[in-house]
Amino acid sequence: MMSNEQLINTKQKMEDRLIPDHTVGNIYVENARMSARKVNVYYSDKQALDDVNLDIGSSQVIAFIGPSGCGKSTLLRCFNRMNDTIDGCRIEGEIKIDKDDVHDPAIDVVSLRARVGMVFQKPNPFPKSIYDNIAYGPRIHGLAATKVDLDNIVQYALHRAGLWAEVKDRLDKPGTGLSGGQQQRLCIARAIAVSPEVILMDEPCSALDPIATAKIEELIHELREQYTIVIVTHSMQQAARVSDRTAYFHLGKLVEVGETTQVFTNPQHELTQDYITGRFG
Ligand SMILES: Nc1ncnc2c1ncn2[C@@H]1O[C@H](COP(=O)(O)OP(=O)(O)OP(=O)(O)O)[C@@H](O)[C@H]1O
Ligand SMILES: [Mg+2]
């Protein structure tokens, strides 16, 4: 009988043949929560992603970095099928969460997006009270049997997002009345409220000041134990601070992926080197 490690090695050897030669580093992790295999994405006839293969490790933070237009957001949106909402967008290849193929017709997209939550660049609270922003998801997914259950979920999610102390006395006030940084934490709480496995964050701090940014980074640090997090960022300092692994993209290709410290201190690919030393981007 093969050990787990041997099994993984065998699996890797079989799959290695599928790895395109434009990716350097290890696309695999032992505890993958999600995976992308041979993913190509097109917007009408324009190709945005080219043969991307990548594992997303469980209870880890992975950062996607690379110049504007390289496909970071496109790949992020593949993981919870947000590209479905874009006219003319076509996806080839396989995206899995645990053993489930996200494109399986048996998969309910609304449930998938609860398992794989998303936080956007611009905080986008619903035009509802702070309470209802958080309660909305648990209500539509039937996660709370009683009002007390729902109250508990709301309180838990706001706690986890580090917002409880700031909003506990104004839960009935509009979410849009909070500061930008508070709104972004509200959006994170909203994602947490439906017990996601994965949280996708697309430049979550780009609209925030440095103090609000530091709070979100602290939060990411705390949440990584319980959730799998994928963060797109243009800040290399941020990627270096918050992530365990870093993936560098260029013109739709995954160029390099590895441990964050390795990618930043000892990049293997010339394109990664040029980007992190600020030669372009
Ligand atoms: N809705 C869309 N319709 C058509 N083309 C699109 C659409 N969204 C993205 N693209 C194109 O796909 C490519 C990848 O875009 P994507 O938004 O994924 O890049 P990105 O790495 O997230 O860039 P940025 O750092 O600027 O956010 C780009 O060439 C972009 O112009
Ligand atoms: Mg983007």
DSSP string, the chain: ---HHHHHHHHHHHHHTTS-TT-EE----TTEEEEEEEEEEEETTEEEEEEEEEEEETT-EEEEE-STTSSHHHHHHHHTTGGGGSTTEEEEEEEEETTEETT-TTS-HHHHHHHEEEE-SS----SSBHHHHHHHHHHHTT--SSHHHHHHHHHHHHHHTT-HHHHTT-TTSBGGGS-HHHHHHHHHHHHHTT--SEEEEESTTTTS-HHHHHHHHHHHHHHTTTSEEEEE-S-HHHHHHH-SEEEEEETTEEEEEEEHHHHHHS-SSHHHHHHHTTS--
Strands 228-232 and 198-202: parallel
CA of 67 to the centre of ligand 2 (A): 9
Q: Say yes or no: CB of residue 134 within 6 Å of ligand 1.
A: no
Q: Say yes or no: CB of residue 86 within 6 Å of ligand 1.
A: yes
Q: Say yes or no: CB of residue 74 within 6 Å of ligand 1.
A: yes
Q: Say yes or no: CB of residue 109 within 6 Å of ligand 1.
A: no
Task: Starting from the CA of residue 66, give the closest ligand.
Answer: 1
- 35 strand-pairing partners: 55, 96
- Measuring from atom 31 of ligand 1, which residue has the nearest CA? 69
Residues of the chain with pLDDT below 70 are 1-19, 280-281
Place of tokens 């890797």: 12
- Measuring from atom 22 of ligand 1, which residue has the nearest CA? 73
CA of 49 to the centre of ligand 1 (A): 10
Q: Say yes or no: CB of residue 85 within 6 Å of ligand 1.
A: no
Contacts of 7 (CB under 8 A, 6+ apart): none
Give CATH 3.40.50.300 domain extents, the chain: 21-46+58-117+207-252
CA of 69 to the centre of ligand 1 (A): 5
202 within 8 A of 234, measured Cβ to Cβ: no
- pLDDT tens digits along 157-194: 999 999 999 999 999 999 999 999 999 999 999 999 99
- pLDDT tens digits along 109-141: 999 999 999 999 999 999 999 999 999 999 999
Q: Say yes or no: CB of residue 68 within 6 Å of ligand 1.
A: yes
Atom of ligand 1 nearest to the CA of 77: 18
Q: Say yes or no: CB of residue 49 within 6 Å of ligand 1.
A: no
Q: Spelled out in words, what is the top-level CATH class assigned to the domain 21-46+58-117+207-252?
A: alpha beta
- Measuring from atom 17 of ligand 1, which residue has the nearest CA? 73
Query: Any idea how long the chain is?
Result: 281
- Measuring from atom 4 of ligand 1, which residue has the nearest CA? 43
CA of 55 to the centre of ligand 1 (A): 22
Could you count the other beta carbons within 10 Å of the beta carbon of residue 3?
Answer: 8
Residues 249 and 272: their CA atoms lie apart, in Å, by 8
| The pLDDT of residue 11 | 60
CA of 203 to the centre of ligand 2 (A): 7
| The pLDDT of residue 246 | 98
